Amino acid sequence: MAKIRKTASIESGIMQVLKILNEDEIQEAIGKGSSYLRKCSNPDLQQQIDHNDSIKLDLACIKKGKAPPLYDAHEYIVINEFENLSSHKENDIDEMLVKSTILHGKLTEVVKLSEDPKSDQGKEISKLEKKEIMEAIKNLEDKIMKIKITVDQK
């Protein structure tokens, strides 16, 4: 019987790693096999994965062009705890979706302006433009994380 793992938990992140990386890639990254990761992903057991191993696995996922699942799980856990400590009114998902749409529009605008031939370096993206793009991406990611936390708490 399949074990149910909480959304964005370390166990769920490990399962995502197992979907992204094959046995050889896991072995190369951490010197351990997929059976070790399956054991670590069991929600009935205390997590045994070493922090350094989780970083190495995330880096291996990034090299394959995939998002780092364990980093995302860590970020989710920390932000969720922060949200629990903060005294916020109940978040309205519709309102957050509207704000995320606005942030997506700002990201699109920043990217388009930086690629405009009339911009600082023409079609080449300058360092300042890269900084603005990365900031817009981070703002959108933060909003998406808040939506995930709100959905998970309901």
Tell me how long the chain is.
154
pLDDT computed for residue 2 by the predictor: 61
- To which residue do tokens 């964005």 refer? 8
C-alpha to C-alpha distances, 140 to 30, 74, 91, 135, nearest whole angstrom = 32, 18, 16, 9
Q: Give per-residue pLDDT as tens, 32-87.
A: 999 999 998 888 877 679 999 999 999 999 999 998 999 988 888 887 777 666 54
Q: Is the pLDDT of residue 92 over 90?
A: no
The pLDDT, as a whole number, for residue 51 is 92
- Whether 89 and 58 have beta carbons less than 8 Å apart is answered as no
Contact between 5 and 11 (Cβ < 8 Å):
yes
Kindly state the average pLDDT of the residues 145-150. Answer: 82
